[in-house]
Amino acid sequence: MTSVLSSLFSRDPKSVFPYELPASSFYTFDGIYIGKSFKKAEPSELATCFWATVSDYGPGSVLKAQARKLKTLRHPNVLAYLDSVEMNGTFYLITEACVPLKTYITENKLTDKQKDFVVSWGLFQLLSCLKFLHQEAELSHENIRYSVYVTESGDWKLGGFEKSTVFSNPCTDLNSFALLTWEIFNGFNESITKPEAPKRVPQQLHVHYKKMATNRAAKLNTGELLRGNILELRQTGGFFKNRYVDILLFLDEFQLKDAHEKQAFFTELKNELDFFPDNIAKYRILPKLIHSYEYGDAGSHVLMPLFRLGRLLDENEYQLRIVPCLCKLFSSPDRVTRVKLLERIDEFAPHLTPQIVNERIYKNVASGFMDTNPAVRESTVKAMVSLADKLNNQNLNTDLMRHLARLQGADDQPGIRTNATICLGKIGCY
């Protein structure tokens, strides 16, 4: 018994901590290091680790204060706290996966148009968060300029909070927000200590920038100012009024939309995906597409954007996220869905394993040979060229041959008889 207890208490705290502690950092500021982490039990669950040496008034104490605040604050644009631990004179804080805004802006290869869209969404989110802090949490952040992080899905979030105080007036936060806005458009420059002339700040933001950049901001009603800024900037011609922000807001309110609105949204989305950086398309839009299909909200309208975004995934991610959807799609009784799926089969067939094809897909596809709709029969015949090399002996040489022979000799549509003959010629090598 003594040896068991001894082994429990002598275990290395690092080995029992649920998150991986990084060996190196990708960013450092004021003695705090930032590195990549993940959940040991589920390595696909990525995280970010902040760490610093513990001392009475050093960066470790700052990080501890951040952890205490983040534990108690819940808002979509406040950085999510996951865990923390102190060991061997170092304090570690684990949050959702993120990078500092400066890193995101300077290292991502965004086109000028994409940057404007990304920034419009980010500033919109930060203003919404500031409104929450001042009016509901009754807090002043006091260090916004250096505390903005961007998640995998492109959300801008506030971290820090080690300097936060009970809210008294909005001046410091509004000035800091103005400085941040200036840096985003004019370049990050720590030597700038107070807001300057707008320079490259977009014209649509000038009035709002100037309101927040002056000492008179202390006298402003923060609720009216922030609410007014958000509403005005979302009006036609405003910096926040664009399809990029419209689409992301629609996704945020997705559960409140009816089926007709969702179908119209996905129909338009396929032509607008180039607006989005890959990380936002992959981690924000694609999950909504998959969720929408699984719960039957969008029907065949989801297919085009789903296949297009699927190209962003590596093979393991494709198998995990897209292939289960494909299996379910092939069992759909909706003819439009099935025909659209079969017409795009060349795009995803390389990702289908022989086991998946034979056990979960072929039977549903083969039912199309007997469909009364000629379009379904013809699409089914053409699709076999892409699937034949994955079929087992029974499905290929017995079942498929029987269907093709019947269609070749007896179908009432000349085009289908011709395509059956062409298909037989192409799959003969298998």
pLDDT tens across 107-158, in order? 888 888 888 999 999 999 999 999 999 989 999 999 999 999 999 999 999 9
* 216 has a pLDDT exceeding 90: no
Tell me how far apart the alpha carbons of residues 348 and 356 are, in angstroms, rounded to a whole number: 12
257-427, which class in CATH? mainly alpha
Name the token pair of 38.
Answer: 């993940």
pLDDT at site 275: 82
- Residue 208: predicted pLDDT: 85
| Paired tokens of 249 | 């807001």
**Does the CA dihedral 123-129-135-138 come out positive or negative?**
negative
Give the residue from 348, 355, 343 showing the smallest Cα distance to 381.
Answer: 343
State the pLDDT confidence band at 347, using cuts at 50, 70 and 90: confident
- Residues 381-390 pLDDT 10s: 999 999 999 9
Residues in the chain, overall count:
430
Provide the pLDDT for residue 11: 56
Per-residue confidence (pLDDT) for residue 8, from 0 to 100: 47
Give the Cα-Cα-Cα angle 353, 354, 359 (nearest 5 degrees): 105
Q: Which amino acid is at 137?
A: A
Interval 238-294: pLDDT, tens: 889 999 999 999 988 888 888 888 888 888 888 888 888 888 999 999 988 888 777
Question: In angstroms, how far is CA 422 from the centroid of its own chain?
Answer: 43
| Segments of the chain assigned to CATH 3.30.200.20 | 11-96
> Could you tell me the two tokens for 401?
């041959």
Q: How far apart are CA 60 and CA 86, in angstroms?
A: 9
Chain region(s) in the chain for CATH 1.25.10.10: 257-427
User: Which residues, at least 6 apart from 420, have a Cβ–Cβ distance to it below 8 Å?
Assistant: 381, 404, 407, 408, 411
What value does the mean pLDDT of the chain take?
Answer: 87
- The residue whose two tokens read 């090598």 is 429
Between 10 and 24, the more confident residue is 24
pTM: 0.84
Amino acid sitting at position 306: L
383's CB contacts (< 8 A; 6+ apart) are 342, 345, 365
d(CA 430, CA 424): 10
User: In the structure, what pLDDT confidence band is assigned to residue 64 with cuts at 50, 70 and 90?
Assistant: very high
Residue 355, token pair as written in the block? 């086991």
Instruction: Give yes or no for residue 349 having a pLDDT over 50.
Output: yes
Q: Please state, in angstroms and rounded to a whole number, the distance separating the CA atoms of residues 203 and 239.
A: 9
User: For the residues 24-41, what does the mean pLDDT come to?
Assistant: 93
* Of the candidate ranges 123-127, 294-298, 390-394, the one whose mean pLDDT is the lowest: 294-298
CATH 1.10.510.10 boundaries in the chain: 100-233
Check if the beta carbon of residue 341 is closer than 8 Å to that of residue 328: no
pLDDT at 202 over 50: yes
Cβ–Cβ under 8 Å, residues 191 and 226: no
- Which stretches of 73-199 are DSSP H helices? 101-107, 112-132, 171-186
End-to-end, the C-alpha distance of the chain in Å comes to 65
Name the CATH code of domain 11-96 (choices 3.30.200.20, 3.40.140.10, 3.40.50.300, 3.90.180.10): 3.30.200.20
Chain segment 355-389, per-residue pLDDT in tens? 999 999 999 999 998 989 999 999 999 999 999 99
216 contacts: CB under 8 Å, gap ≥ 6: none
Q: Yes or no: is domain 100-233 CATH 1.10.510.10?
A: yes
